[in-house]
Amino acid sequence: MSLDGKIALAGGRRARLSGPADLERVQRIRAHSDAILVGRGTVEKDDPSLRVHWELLGPEGEEIRRSRGAGWAPWRICLDTRGGIPASSRILDGSAPTAIITTRANSRRYPPHVRVASLPGPQVDLPEALRWLRKELGVRRLLVEGGSAVIASVLRSRTCDLFTVFVASRLIGGSRSPSLLAGPDSRTLDESVPLTFRGAQPLDDGCLLTYLPGE
């Protein structure tokens, strides 16, 4: 995010805030994860492949791939409550195992190679989604990349065990640029998300901050 907490430009236009070292850090986390999770908004706006860019990891990446087995890749997971992700999205291209978590109200048909979890309720219940990932796909280590609504759900439901954020030396400003944490609004400090600071590390032209969930 930027120094003022923005994760994109006005209207949600993508902003590349990470430098080479942070991009490599993210790829390393992806490589050690069983699955990578994003929301529908991230897929619509950024169309990420959610693949591991092994070429950025060098010999370390080769060692991880050997230990995982030939052709292994982490699951690509998208929360798609109403079936709104474009059919041309790269996560639906069949190049890596993919699962969509949605609701029973969504009647959309996804490609046959995509696993689909249809959960009850008008919105995807995050704790229930995490239980499905563990039970059905064997996910033990999950990387949640975004966007702001998914990050908010994870932090507010206290379902993460580690939170890291790279802060770039840049200010974006404005009222139409999305912030790291989406609604609902915190009307009091009791409704805000407490975190426990664990460390800060200079990285590229910014700083990597690490937190644990607070009490």
CA distance 137 to 52: 19
CA distance 157 to 193: 9
Element (H, E) at 66: helix 58-68
What would the pLDDT profile of 195-208 be if each residue is shown by its tens digit?
999 999 999 999 99
Confidence band for 184, pLDDT divided at 50, 70 and 90: confident
What is the pTM for the complete model shown? 0.94
Q: Report the chain's mean pLDDT, rounded to a whole number.
A: 94
At 81 the pLDDT is: 93
Element (H, E) at 117: strand 115-119
CA distance 206 to 17: 9
Question: What are the phi and psi torsion angles at 8 (to 5°)?
Answer: -160, 175
Residue 215 has pLDDT above 80, yes or no: no
At 214 the pLDDT is: 83
Q: Are 123 and 81 in contact (CB under 8 A)?
A: yes
CA distance 196 to 211: 5
What would the pLDDT profile of 68-126 be if each residue is shown by its tens digit?
988 899 999 999 999 999 999 999 999 999 999 999 999 999 999 999 999 998 999 99
Domains for the chain: give ranges and CATH numbers: 10-213 (3.40.430.10)
CA distance 212 to 215: 10
Residue 191: closest CA among 155, 163, 165: 155
CA distance 186 to 141: 29
Residue 24 has pLDDT above 80, yes or no: yes
Rg (CA), the chain: 17
What would the pLDDT profile of 111-156 be if each residue is shown by its tens digit?
999 999 999 989 999 999 999 999 999 999 999 998 899 999 999 9
- Reported as half-sphere exposure (CB side, CA atoms, 13 A), residue 117 has a value of 23
Q: Which amino acid is at 199?
A: G
